[in-house]
């Protein structure tokens, strides 16, 4: 029996987290955060109203280095677009986004260029001159999230509301590939190992799919919460008729059977109406013959015995099952029964994904974290899509039940912890045991996003109250369960 690796001590485990600084970044609320990874000196924030702010990560008390206002509305007030000349239309490169900024992300190993996603486009910005964006890529559908690859080639993956994932080449500024497979809108994305072509996506259909971006035909596999179940029933196969199999083999071929006029059904129009339907006497009732007074032949009441009630097979089966099985049917994602069905990872939309790099030979492909509106945080084996064997398969969290993307942060060994927004606080949980290590309470409204600073024990959080807070670990201070700001 293989024992899980020992949990090494880190500052996030044996130290106390204190609130270092805070500022009012956006009046309408902070929707997303990103810290540049080259030096960790700049932090980007996106607002619920479409604005973008660039701040100094070392000192939040300083004024923002740049503030990009929301994009101007394309609707002309007091009239239509035809009433005004075309020169009055706003420029597409001005302002941030129309509506909520879904994602802000720095380009890999760069502290100048960054990418934002919102409304129906992706914009590339230059931090030294953020008055106008460098390039705008219109995708003509709602953008839910954007993930920038860590590979040398700058590629951004966009999660779209039309249930597809679009790959955008940031050098040329155009879409180069489309990944299709989800049956509902895609909510979140996460790239795999550094330099790999592996991409993970979670959608409103509850599925988590793995892709190879060089193959856009279909996903590699789906995450299945019942993959390690021992007594799982075998998958069923649907038997198709010969005509259906021929139609699927040749979908564009015409049918060989000619259409006859005798096969068509004709129902004539009947304008007459039963006069008894006005009084409701056309239907039989208990103790009544169903005929009006003085019409029809006499009949005996209850002459035919009532038919026997059908057996309640479904209810009897549900009573025979155990309490754990009934709970799975009510709260857990449905189990796959047929071969053509997709494996569902969460019962409801998947609102957040995060990738953890592997530990060499033991975990060559790493782990994947997914959070859904069902209040479950699940850990997957990124190589197979099965639940991780060295950690709890899932544990309950207090994430919101809204179909809005949620930004969480993770730290690999030796910390192995997850920073997850849970309503108006941030929970720090152990990924090996699922225990709650600490809770950070300082925001007055719901927290939307969490981001860590590479190389430093610092954490940035933002929420609907519009504040951007920076947390820091004090290794010599005594530990506490909840850090609260009155």
β-sheet bridge partners, residue 43: 35, 55
Residue 325 dihedral angles phi and psi, to the nearest 5°? -70, -40
Residue tagged 């009947």 (tokens) = 270
The answer to whether 430 touches 413, Cβ cutoff 8 Å, is: no
Q: Return the bridge partners of 21, or none.
A: 470
DSSP three-state, residue 104: strand
Is 25-74+89-227+331-335+345-402 in CATH node 2.130.10.10? yes
Other beta carbons within 10 Å of 48 = 19
Q: Following CA atoms 392, 396, 398, 404 in sequence, which dihedral angle do they give, to the nearest 10 degrees?
A: 70
What is the chain's pLDDT, residue by residue, as a tens digit (486 residues)?
A: 334 444 445 667 766 888 999 999 999 999 999 998 888 889 999 999 999 999 999 999 999 999 999 988 765 555 554 454 444 455 777 889 998 999 999 988 788 899 999 999 999 999 988 888 999 999 999 999 999 987 667 889 999 999 999 999 988 888 889 999 999 999 999 998 877 789 999 999 999 999 998 887 789 999 999 999 888 888 888 766 677 677 666 766 655 556 566 666 656 655 555 555 655 555 665 555 545 454 555 555 544 555 665 555 556 655 655 555 555 556 788 888 888 889 999 999 999 999 988 765 455 678 999 999 999 999 999 999 999 887 787 888 988 788 899 999 998 877 889 999 998 999 999 888 888 888 899 999 999 999 998 778 899 999 999 999 999 987 654 444 555 544
Measured CA to CA, the distance from residue 266 to residue 303 in angstroms comes to 37
CA–CA dist 111, 108 (Å, integer): 9
Confirm if 15 and 470 have CB atoms less than 8 A apart. Answer: no
């Amino acid at each position: 029996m293989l024992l899980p690796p020992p949990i090494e001590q880190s500052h996030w485990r044996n130290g106390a987290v204190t609130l270092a600084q805070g500022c009012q970044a956006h009046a309408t609320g902070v929707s997303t955060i990103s810290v540049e990874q080259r030096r960790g000196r700049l932090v980007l924030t996106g607002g619920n109203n479409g604005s973008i702010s660039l701040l100094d990560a070392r000192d939040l008390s300083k004024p923002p280095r740049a503030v990009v206002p929301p994009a101007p509305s394309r609707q002309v007030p007091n009239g239509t677009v035809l009433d005004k000349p075309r020169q009055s239309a706003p420029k597409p490169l001005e302002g941030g986004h129309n509506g909520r900024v879904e994602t802000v992300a720095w380009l890999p190993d760069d502290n100048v260029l960054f990418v934002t996603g919102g409304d129906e486009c992706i914009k590339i910005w230059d931090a030294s001159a953020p008055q106008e964006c460098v390039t705008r890529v219109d995708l003509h559908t709602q953008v839910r999230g954007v993930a920038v690859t860590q590979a040398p080639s700058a590629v951004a993956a966009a999660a779209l509301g039309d249930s597809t994932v679009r790959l955008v080449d940031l050098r040329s500024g155009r879409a180069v590939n489309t990944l299709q497979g989800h049956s509902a809108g895609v909510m979140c994305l996460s790239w795999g190992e550094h330099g790999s072509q592996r991409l993970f996506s979670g959608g409103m259909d509850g599925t988590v799919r793995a892709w190879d971006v060089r193959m856009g035909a279909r996903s590699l596999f789906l995450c299945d919460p019942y993959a390690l179940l021992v007594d799982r029933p075998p998958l069923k196969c649907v038997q198709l008729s010969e005509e259906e199999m021929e139609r699927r083999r040749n979908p564009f071929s015409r049918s060989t059977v000619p259409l006859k006029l005798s096969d068509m059904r004709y129902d004539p129009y009947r304008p007459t109406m039963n006069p008894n339907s006005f009084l409701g006497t056309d239907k039989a009732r208990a103790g009544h013959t169903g005929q009006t007074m003085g019409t029809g032949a006499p009949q005996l009441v209850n002459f035919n015995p009532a038919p026997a009630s059908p057996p309640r097979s479904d209810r009897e089966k549900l009573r025979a099952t155990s309490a754990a099985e009934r709970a799975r049917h009510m709260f857990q994602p449905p189990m796959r029964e047929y071969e053509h069905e997709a494996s569902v990872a969460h019962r409801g939309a998947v609102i957040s994904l995060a990738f953890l790099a592997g530990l060499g030979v033991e975990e060559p492909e790493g782990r994947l974290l997914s959070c859904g509106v069902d209040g479950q945080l699940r850990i997957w084996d990124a190589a197979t899509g099965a639940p991780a064997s060295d950690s709890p398969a899932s544990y309950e969290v207090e994430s919101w039940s809204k179909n809005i993307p949620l930004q969480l942060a993770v730290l690999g060994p030796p910390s192995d912890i997850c920073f997850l927004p849970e309503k108006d606080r941030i929970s720090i949980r152990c990924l090996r045991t699922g225990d709650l290590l600490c809770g950070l309470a300082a925001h007055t409204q719901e927290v939307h996003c969490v981001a860590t600073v590479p190389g430093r024990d610092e954490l940035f959080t933002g929420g609907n109250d519009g504040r951007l807070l920076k947390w820091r670990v004090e290794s010599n201070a005594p530990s506490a369960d909840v850090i609260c700001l009155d």
